[in-house]
Structure 1
Amino acid sequence: MSFVSRTFALGLFAAALTAPLATQAQSTVVLTGKISGKTADSVAVSVREHPLDPKEQLTYAAVNDKGEFRLAMKVNGPTKADLVYGDDVAGLWLEPGTNMDVRFKGDDLATSVKFKGKGAQANTYLADFDERFVENDGFQVLPDNISLYEAPFVSFLDYRRKEEMKFLKDVQEDQTVSPAFRNYVKAEVDYSYANDRLTFQDLREQVVATEGRLKMSPTYYDFLNDASLINNEAALQNENYQEFLLNYVHYAATAAGHKKGDPEFYRVCYNMAKEKLQGPARPVVMGRVLQESFRFGHVKQSAAMLDDFRASVDKSNQFYPVLKADFDAHKDFAIGSPAPDFRLVSAKGDTVSLQDFRGKLVYLNFWRTTSGLSLRDLPYAQELAKKFNGQNIAFVNIALDDNEPAWKQLVVSKKLAGTHLRAPGGQRGTVAKAYMLQEVPAYFLIAEDGTFLNTKPKRLSSRAAMDEIKESFGKAATYTSAQPAPGKN
């Protein structure tokens, strides 16, 4: 993994934050070079033009028979980018006026790339940092050190930062690189440390399944009291800074007693970002929270927050169009959106619709008799159906089978519990398309009012499935009641 893609790479992140997109002055960057052992006919530079839009802009250049290329592109200021050749990627730092000779081996771009010319020194630092710290597992947060307890984990982070600071000293004293680049590298060191320390407790809980959540010492999170760490315009060009701010808002909401999965979680995060953050990073992080809400929050809360964002935060309309398109792309399957109805024939021969289960929690399981993973989950489905027998939940299983006799024989011979239906046409059929199924098994939790409660619940075979179902009874009503206007926690 290259330095540029160490976290959520944003390409033109800084430029997008420091001026409206449409009015930024552009300047040309030129890369010429030669590839030893050509393996592809083109080379490209990839940048992200908008900090909230995942789409990347690729600028291509042809590679001739000698392995030579020339690539020219416009940039809106200091820019993080990717140099892409085949499946290999290396980080780039580009600024107006950059004019470099770039050379590398065709089968080993990342570790063989060399730079000469204007901008070469900064890019050489990037490559060196990548080799010393990013590609070196000894400096990465991996399961082995995530499993540590607090004191040894902090010692690991302190040692890594000490070594990175030695590298940073050389960069800070080198006047041939720009202040923007020096700020970028300093932020890389500062916010990789802050991010890893901030997320350690959550990561450890996921990795170490044999222990409960680690209780941290009273002073563990004191580093967050540094106001300059939160609002730091000098770090705007570094993607780790934005990721840290998003994690910081999550932490602040959790510390205030709101858990992920609670109906009001993303609304609280949105309001905390609005209140605690300043400057150009504020709308970006609020936008990131909105994008999380579009995927995991309630559709009505998301719509209300989006309206508030447009009216009170993004008056220049720099971010709203991207966010509105993202909301529209996810709203049909968001929590609170109505689940598509269906009318299908059951294994018993009667016609059943989703509406028949209105008033009950519905665990919807799409499967197929020829799917090994689906068949493996069947015993767990039976066990769950028995454990929740007599409670206000229906286990509805829809088979995407064209072979009706084989499906019916399996259901009857195995005496499968729950309601069993078959959707004609399989994954090309109307029901599969309505639920946008890409594979089976696929699961959905549908609330008592017929709206989506969870489009990716725990699998039937998961130990956590039972707890998740228990917590889902009546949850739609709590979402409905947790709808105060944005701005109120």
Structure 2
Amino acid sequence: MYNLYRKESMDLGQSLYDNKLTDSAKFEKINKLYNKVMMTAAVHLDHPESQKLITDVYYQYVGFLNSHHLLSKYELHINDTSATGKALNQQFPAGAYHAQSEFSFKNSNSYKEFIFNYVRFYKGLNNTTIIGSDWDKKMTPFAPAWDEYYLGLANLHLIELRDWFVTKAIEMDFGYYSFDDAENIYKDFKTKVKTPRYADTLAQFYATVRQLKPGNLAPEFSLKNDKGEVVSLKSFRGKVVYIDFWGVGCGPCVYEIKNTTAALHERYKDKNVVFLNICVDSDEKAWKSSLASLNISGVNLIAEGWTRNPVCQKYNVTGIPHYITIGTDGKIVNNNSERPSSGYTLTAELDKALKQAH
């Protein structure tokens, strides 16, 4: 299945970003390939193993619709009027993606990927208006981690599916959102989780990630720089350290480096701040080639192997770009700092860290 349709699937993915295509034209492209792939997957529909295949295909293409904001407007359907085509439309009728299926959860990664994104991003009261005087002073703080937590609890009623969803969300929260929010969600959910393996997964994960709580000493590490020298974090004690975990093949990382990091480094060139750029996704040769073409200032280090690298594991670097600020005392200021392009939010954090040193 993968080999048969890999190229067509990639071509479809690229074509959907054509701004000239209408929504209906995008849907027709998706549904056309869905028909081809699904009818291939269903050749032996009477075999039990085929259920996994057709489930994978359905949720893969529902995912296409969802990622291009077409899911509320269109429904996938099989055009073939054979017995197989009719059986497929009966099994996956309009709105079938709302099903909380134990079979799909246990057998299809496409289902789990779809459910995780759909529940988190399909929020019932998105884009509503706040009416009243001084409403800006009465708003609850921005807290996406809590939003996703409560969405999972409210929408998912299969216990194992719910526990999986929230476990995955909490692990992600520690990598992207406020540490305090992520920690408090974990503490709340550990009183609710019913599935032993997810409770155990979270307990082990938290035992590691709690080291990154702001105010704790940053985990020590030593990495090789572009001159082949071993550089340790402790050698920068007494300075504010801003770490940029980035990758050669990461578009957003490269965008930040090309468009915003030079100005940030220039702003602090005469101040007690050091910028560590840690490449995680390439070998030494590709890394050094990128350093030359991108002309990255600061201290350039490499942590090959990404999620297998001990440094990335210590700092919970599961996605890039990822930024961390460490104070002059070697303690974590923010384990999920803002990007250089965020402007004042980041510079205010760095300036505050500098003031605290005096």
Q: Same fold (TM over 0.5)?
A: yes
CA contact (8 A) 1:290 1:306 kept: yes
Alpha-carbon distance in 2 for matches of 1:306, 1:339: 22
CA contact (8 A) 1:364 1:396 kept: no
Q: Report the equivalent of 1:283.
A: 163
CA contact (8 A) 2:219 2:314 kept: no
RMSD across aligned positions (CA): 4.9
Structure 1 position 396 matched with structure 2 position 250? no
Q: CA deviation at 1:242?
A: 0.7
**Structure with the largest fraction of strand:** 1
Alpha-carbon distance in 1 for matches of 2:325, 2:75: 36
Alpha-carbon distance in 2 for matches of 1:187, 1:248: 16
Q: Report the equivalent of 1:50.
A: none
Match of 2:115 among 239, 245, 251: 245
CA contact (8 A) 1:363 1:446 kept: yes
Count of aligned pairs: 259
Q: CA deviation at 1:284?
A: 1.0
CA contact (8 A) 1:161 1:193 kept: yes
1:135-284 aligned at under 5 Å gives the runs: 136-140=6-10, 144-148=14-18, 149=21, 150-172=23-45, 174=46, 177-178=47-48, 181-200=49-68, 219=73, 226=95, 229-236=98-105, 237-253=107-123, 256=126, 264-279=143-158, 280-284=160-164
Larger RCO, structures 1/2 (Cα 8 Å, 6+ apart): 2
Q: Which amino acid aligns with 1:273?
A: G
**Alignment partner of 2:343: what SS?**
helix
Q: Report the equivalent of 1:353.
A: 238
Q: Structure 1 residues 457, 323: closer, same or farther in 2, change over 3 A? A: same
Q: Report the equivalent of 2:345.
A: 471
Q: Which amino acid aligns with 1:191?
A: Y
**Structure with the largest fraction of helix:** 2
Offset from partner CA, 1:107-148 (integer Å, 9 cap, x none): xxxxxxxxxxxxxxxxxxxxxx23322xx3113366622422
Q: Report the equivalent of 2:88.
A: none
Offset from partner CA, 1:344-367 (integer Å, 9 cap, x none): xxxxxxx9725xx7xxxx74579x
Q: Report the equivalent of 1:307.
A: 187
Q: Report the equivalent of 1:340.
A: 218
Q: Report the equivalent of 1:72.
A: none
For normalisation by structure 2, the TM-score amounts to 0.56
Q: Which amino acid aligns with 1:247?
A: N
Match of 2:334 among 436, 445, 453: 453
Q: Report the equivalent of 1:331.
A: 210
Alpha-carbon distance in 2 for matches of 1:158, 1:323: 39
Structure 2: 5+ residue runs without aligned partners? Answer: 78-92, 129-140, 221-235, 246-256, 278-296, 304-309, 316-320, 351-358
Q: CA deviation at 1:325?
A: 1.1
Offset from partner CA, 1:251-281 (integer Å, 9 cap, x none): 12597369xxx95112211110111012131
For normalisation by structure 1, the TM-score amounts to 0.42
CA contact (8 A) 2:327 2:333 kept: yes
Q: Which amino acid aligns with 1:297?
A: Y
Structure 1: 5+ residue runs without aligned partners? Answer: 1-128, 202-215, 343-350, 367-376, 401-417, 459-464, 477-489
**Alignment partner of 1:231: what SS?**
coil
Match of 2:3 among 116, 122, 131: 131
Q: Structure 1 residues 381, 306: closer, same or farther in 2, change over 3 A? A: closer
Q: Which amino acid aligns with 1:296?
A: Y
Q: Structure 1 residues 132, 397: closer, same or farther in 2, change over 3 A? A: same
CA contact (8 A) 2:120 2:148 kept: yes
CA contact (8 A) 1:230 1:277 kept: no
1:369-384 aligned at under 5 Å gives the runs: 383-384=263-264
Offset from partner CA, 1:387-441 (integer Å, 9 cap, x none): 6899xxx6611689xxxxxxxxxxxxxxxxx9x9x9xxx99xxxx989969xxx9
CA contact (8 A) 1:310 1:320 kept: yes
